[in-house]
Amino acid sequence: MGQSSTSKKRRSRDAATKMAEQRLSVLELARKLGNVAEACRRRGMDRTSFYEWRRRFQTHGFEGLKDLPPIHKSHPQTTPPETVEKIKAL
């Protein structure tokens, strides 16, 4: 028989999607149990993170549960190191 659509979906998931699905499962468990603390205990998540993920899910949907891109260590308008050294020398 042919592959079902769910098996195709499972294979095409990337790491970010898997993590988002795990976070969504905690949100769903908390709703089902009616107890955030118990859901977090069962899934090994602290409540602060739970409320952050819930807020992001409410505002951005499933995409909000994915990790944000890393913040660059340098800002495009950063003063060049040579200029900083000249200012320090003054």
60: in domain: yes
pLDDT in tens, 6-40: 444 444 578 888 999 999 999 999 999 999 999 99
85: in domain: no
Query: Looking at residue 56, what is its pLDDT?
Result: 94
In the predicted model, is pLDDT for residue 5 greater than 70?
no
Domain with 48, as residue range(s), is 15-65
CA distance 86 to 53: 45
Collapsing DSSP states into helix, strand and coil, what is residue 90? coil
Say what the pTM is.
0.62
84: in domain: no
User: How many domains does the chain divide into?
Assistant: 1
Furthest-apart CA pair in the chain: how many Å?
Answer: 78
Entry field: residues in the chain: 90
